[in-house]
Amino acid sequence: MDVRPLQNENRYRGIGMFTRSLLLALADVLQEQSDALAEGPGDRPSFVFYGEPGEPVPDALAARFPDARVIEVPAQRLAGIRYLWLVARPRALVPADRADVDVLLQCDPWGGIPAKVPTVAVFLDAIPLLFPYTAEKLPLGRKWVLQQIQRGNHAVRYRRSLAWYRRAAVVVAISESSRRDYLRLIESRPKNPVRVVLPAAVPAGSAERSDAALDRLGLRERPYLLYVGGVDPRKNVMRLLADLDELLPGHPDLRLVLVGQEFGLEEPLRLMGWPDFLQSHPEVAAAVQTPGYVADEELPSLYAHARAFVFPSRYEGFGLPILEAMAQDCPVICYDNSAIPEVAGDAALMVPDGAPMASEIARLLDDPALREELIARGRAQLANFSWHTAARDVLAAVNEAAATRGGAVRAR
């Protein structure tokens, strides 16, 4: 298992949350099967973690796989050398060898898919294809040349990582929408199976719940809308500022809370016009709060006390925050694109893709009965998603891959 998404910057993004939750659930499923079958120590599967040099395996994962061997993946040194980072790979390839493992589980395509070991490769989305790399418009000069080289090589590296999927024994897509994108954009007639494994909300009780963020942000008695995620263009967060501007005359006490580490990055916010909008709309600026990264134990309370979770994303391979909100009885307002309808079902207020959300937000704010109805539907929708089921489905894919070399991890 490549655990680098839990050790590098991806730990705070969807790929990190997916990897962590999946591997912890996989540990539970394997333990259940081991107990049920009363296997001897020699019959139980062994585990290898491929990790970043010098980085520890997260404590929760190490505790569930106490006998796992750790193989460090050599650092991609070229990426740290001035100017060579423009053409170097961002991640070193996993040095998986049949002497070490029978099957590799790879959740991060940038980590590579080896040719010599059967691999179950997770396909999350086609974001870099549909929403290419964007950067500040620069005048002609040295910086412009470097930017163009970086942009071109980013596209080349990503397409190369997609080509690696052809090496996978089994591809696992995280939604039907994601599977359709894989078949439409990457490989229309794959030689190996493409299975769907649906994620779930972050497990309840995975961290001790705290109300500290509510008090720190002064939100305990104040109505607010919540957004959790990044700031890249497809996330469309500027839409929320425009919606808030429309809502404030009728709801002057309303606040918009935007959670995410990327709200501390100046350049992407400046490129999308964020500071200019706030400067020209001081009443909106006064109603926006950007606390940055919020700890796992504090996030559930922010969901639970919000009047709504607003999600204006233009594309998602899945959309975990939708289920996170529903798990905390927070009504959801979102767009009807990509995998979002598949995840939200009839438990959210669905807005046509790209349209203003303000009218639906106002309807929810002014209608307590609608809020309770959406909360009840959200609880029912959650029943369609389970990390335990996802782990069993991934284990089935591992067995399918293992069969290509005549072995399997026990599954029932």
Taking residue 142's Cβ as centre, other Cβ atoms within 10 Å add up to: 8
Those residues with Cβ within 8 angstroms of residue 70's Cβ, 6 or more apart along the chain or in another chain: 48, 49, 51, 57
Give the pLDDT confidence score for residue 127 in this predicted structure. 83
Of 305, 291, 368, 374, nearest in space to 334 by CA: 374
In the numeric block, the tokens 């994108």 are attached to 181
Query: How many Cα atoms sit within 13 Å of 12 on the Cβ side?
Result: 13
Give the pLDDT confidence score for residue 115 in this predicted structure. 86
> What average pLDDT does the segment 162-172 reach?
90
Those residues with Cβ within 8 angstroms of residue 308's Cβ, 6 or more apart along the chain or in another chain: 225, 226, 330, 331, 332, 333, 361, 364, 365
Give the pLDDT confidence score for residue 93 in this predicted structure. 84
Give the pLDDT confidence score for residue 56 in this predicted structure. 93
> What average pLDDT does the segment 112-130 reach?
89
Rounded CA gap, 279 and 166, in Å? 49
Give the pLDDT confidence score for residue 110 in this predicted structure. 81
Give the pLDDT confidence score for residue 222 in this predicted structure. 94
Decide if pLDDT at 79 tops 70. Answer: no
Of 299, 315, 305, 311, nearest in space to 240 by CA: 311
> What average pLDDT does the segment 316-334 reach?
96
Transcribe 289-340 into DSSP letters: EEEES--TTTHHHHHHH-SEEEE--S--SS-HHHHHHHHTT--EEEES-TTH
Give the pLDDT confidence score for residue 409 in this predicted structure. 52
Segment (H or E) for 49: strand 48-51
Give the pLDDT confidence score for residue 320 in this predicted structure. 92
> What average pLDDT does the segment 399-408 reach?
76
Give pLDDT tens digits for 356-382: 999 999 999 999 999 999 999 999 999
Rounded CA gap, 8 and 321, in Å? 21
Supply the mean pLDDT for the chain: 87
* Contact of 308 with 287, CB cutoff 8 Å: no
